[in-house]
Structure 1
Amino acid sequence: MARRRQAVTIKHVAADAGVSLQTVSRVINKEPNVRPAMAEKVQASIDRLGYVPSIAAQRMSGSRSYLILAINDRERTIADWKAREGRDWVDQMLLGGMLTCAERGYRMLIELVDTHSDHVERELGGAIAALQPDGVILTPPHSENPLITSFLAATHIPFARIGSRQEGPGIAITMGDTANARLATQHLLDHGHRRIGFVAGPPEFSLANRRIDGWQAAMDEAGHPTGDLCERGDFGFETGKQAARKLLALPDRPTALICSSDQMTLAALEVARELGIDVPRDLSLVSFDNSPIVRFTDPPLTAVDQPIAATASRAVELLIDSRKAPSPDEPVILTGELVVRGSSGPAPARGQR
């Protein structure tokens, strides 16, 4: 029977390098009070022996856990997973967060917490107590839940609030929702559209309101009224259909719609087909998110590509660096880009409608 190979430990590294356990620990944890020559000597032993530091050993060596915890809404996340409709928010968040964590010697975990639960503090407290993370990433709507933000502030654990620009504790970081909505609106204005409708998200999401602000500002600057051109949904398909039907039933219906999620844009596309409205000849559509499914619709959807991975990556960097440097006082803003596909085009001539 083959013998199991003995695992290489920090003791083996210390013996090979001829240094103390404390010195090896300081090199592994990249502490500043190690001479470069000594660090090179220890690293050579690590490489030679194939030693891989365990998180458990690192946690025992100091006050850090080397874990970053991301908190996402349980109900919405599970519904998305079960629906298998191509939404990739969690995937993109983990892509950016996990890669950056790995580069910095950390690990990223995700926990699902109910947004509207009366026990949200207990749920979050249990996760914090079990994992003892060095930082927490909050996603909407948790990032603006005062029960959650005040609880984390009291624990003195650094946390980032994705999608929030509200004043308060934690690092505010957004994906440029106002600028992104302006970008989408300007794209349509440049194609001659004047009646541009907007299907917004629910009011409890401040990012939904900022997107309205961006659309409104671009329309105001162009001198086009918007009084009857905004409806709200909940980012989902069914409410997207209801909002699109209202807008497309207007006597002077819009020639273009911007929808605040891919699901609501898919709903608008279906409503347009039911009504015999051709996309993009009679109606242009622009979406938000740019999840994989929008490339395979007919026509493929023009979409604002939200920098979800880059935002999660930046949040991780800020949380890790907060141990040594002060967190930014102002909200950190990343911006997306518009990916133009077949669903948007020139405004139809009035006589063609």
Structure 2
Amino acid sequence: MSQTSTPARRPTIKEVAKLAGVSFKTVARVVNNEPSVTAERREAVHKAMTMLNYAPNVSARQLASKRSYLLALVFGGGGLDNFARAQTGAIRRCREAGYQLIVEEVVPGSETEVAARLQNARVDGVIVLPPLSFHPPLLEALRERALRYALISPDGGDPIASSVGLDDKLAAKQMTSRLIALGHRDIGFISGGDRRASTYRRIGYRAALETAGIPLRPDLEAEGDFSFKSGEVAARQLLGGPVRPSAIFAANDGMALGVMVAAARLGLRVPEDLSVAGFDDMPYAKLVWPELTTIRRPLREMASTAVDLLLEPEDGRAPHHVVLDFELIERGSTMQRTAP
């Protein structure tokens, strides 16, 4: 005789409560991400849910509240590496909070269509990755659909949106100060255009030079557009100038890689003849040789924080702007400068 397997029974909320040593109402509050639960009890509930493989019934939760328990992550034009890191952080935090994450790619001209789809899906909020976080057509479309959103690394203030970023000025100042500590005085800088992040990174670079008593030299600054090719072109400009820099700090990793290629084509060794530093700590920063010294931008943590911002209740408060820590990662592309 053939035997039919009995479907595994779903654990109940009361079983989770018993294992966690709390009331079932406390479990419900944790599942609904309500603030009135201590960190200790919240952790106990999450641990019990994991041990029992408990998954909240999304449909029931939707019916019992005005929320869909859906968040969206929108990306476009910022590179798949950035997207992958942010998606990982958002998914993990959504899972902890009992939410599901949907993903939408935005291409030029699709802003209104994407906003309409998100509205039809009844998402509770939208996480917007750069460069979309300073893309007016998308932000206007989200506002027209009355969709709540949180911005990652925005290019300016938004009167209705919370955001998460880092202190670009301080990060650039620390990187430049580190190059100065390595004995460099002629330090080139490649900006990424007129974006807010690039502007602040230039300010931080100049501030470090000023603090160290090193005169600013316009011929040691060049303009890029955050692309690899622009970094290569700008590096050729700097390295062919009246004073050849012993170090170049590029406002992102893509341009820094362009600097390394330009140096190689000019017969210069990195870091013996030219130290190179970037910004962002993209995955390829560890795939080049020598590995790239850079500032680590914590995109996973930024996306996780953006989820938290969207889970906060809407009660008429002003937007919340969070600044996360960065890390200076020193690798083989920079070294102590030896006397010429």
Give TM-score, length-normalised by structure 1.
0.79
Q: Does 1:238 align with 2:229?
A: yes
- Report the alpha carbon displacement of residue 185 of structure 1 after superposing the two structures with TM: 0.6
Deviations 1:78-129 (A, max 9, x none): xx5xxxxxxx212221222111111111122221102xx2442233222x13
C-alpha distance in 1 between matches for 2:241 and 2:330: 27
Give TM-score, length-normalised by structure 2.
0.82
1:344/1:50 CA distance change after superposition, 3 Å: closer
C-alpha distance in 2 between matches for 1:237 and 1:30: 42
Q: Does 1:90 align with 2:83?
A: yes
1:155/1:2 CA distance change after superposition, 3 Å: farther
- Out of 294, 301, 324, which is 1:303 matched to? 294
Q: How does 1:34-113 map to 2 (within 5 A)?
A: 52-73=55-76, 75-77=77-79, 80=80, 88-113=81-106
- Out of 326, 343, 353, which is 2:333 matched to? 343
1:24/1:96 CA distance change after superposition, 3 Å: closer
Question: What is the letter of the counterpart of residue 246 of structure 1?
Answer: Q
Match in the other structure for 1:169? 160
Aligned partners of 2:253 and 2:280 also within 8 Å: yes
SS of 2:278 mapped into structure 1:
strand
SS of 1:289 mapped into structure 2:
coil
SS of 2:190 mapped into structure 1:
strand
1:50/1:265 CA distance change after superposition, 3 Å: closer
Question: What is the letter of the counterpart of residue 98 of structure 1?
Answer: I
Q: Report % sequence identity.
A: 31
C-alpha distance in 2 between matches for 1:123 and 1:319: 19
C-alpha distance in 2 between matches for 1:276 and 1:48: 59
Q: How many residues align?
A: 323
C-alpha distance in 2 between matches for 1:328 and 1:51: 34
1:32/1:2 CA distance change after superposition, 3 Å: farther
C-alpha distance in 2 between matches for 1:25 and 1:151: 37
Match in the other structure for 1:270? 261
Match in the other structure for 1:38? none
Q: How does 1:23-38 map to 2 (within 5 A)?
A: 28-29=31-32
C-alpha distance in 1 between matches for 2:233 and 2:251: 14
C-alpha distance in 1 between matches for 2:180 and 2:53: 59
Q: How does 1:130-169 map to 2 (within 5 A)?
A: 130-164=120-154, 165-169=156-160
1:264/1:108 CA distance change after superposition, 3 Å: same
C-alpha distance in 2 between matches for 1:105 and 1:48: 15
C-alpha distance in 1 between matches for 2:105 and 2:61: 26
1:321/1:272 CA distance change after superposition, 3 Å: same
C-alpha distance in 1 between matches for 2:237 and 2:304: 39
C-alpha distance in 1 between matches for 2:51 and 2:157: 50
Question: What is the letter of the counterpart of residue 226 of structure 2?
Answer: F
Aligned partners of 1:175 and 1:308 also within 8 Å: no
C-alpha distance in 1 between matches for 2:114 and 2:254: 30
- Report the alpha carbon displacement of residue 50 of structure 1 after superposing the two structures with TM: 6.5
C-alpha distance in 2 between matches for 1:67 and 1:232: 41
Between 190-199 and 144-153, the greater mean CA deviation after superposition: 144-153
Q: Does 1:314 align with 2:300?
A: no
- Out of 215, 228, 245, which is 1:254 matched to? 245
SS of 1:288 mapped into structure 2:
coil
1:146/1:169 CA distance change after superposition, 3 Å: farther
Where structure 2 has 5 or more consecutive residues not aligned to the other structure, the ranges are 18-24, 38-45
Deviations 1:322-343 (A, max 9, x none): 34683545x3211311111121
C-alpha distance in 1 between matches for 2:57 and 2:248: 52
C-alpha distance in 2 between matches for 1:199 and 1:30: 44
- Report the alpha carbon displacement of residue 7 of structure 1 after superposing the two structures with TM: 6.9
Deviations 1:275-305 (A, max 9, x none): 1212212211111121232224222211111
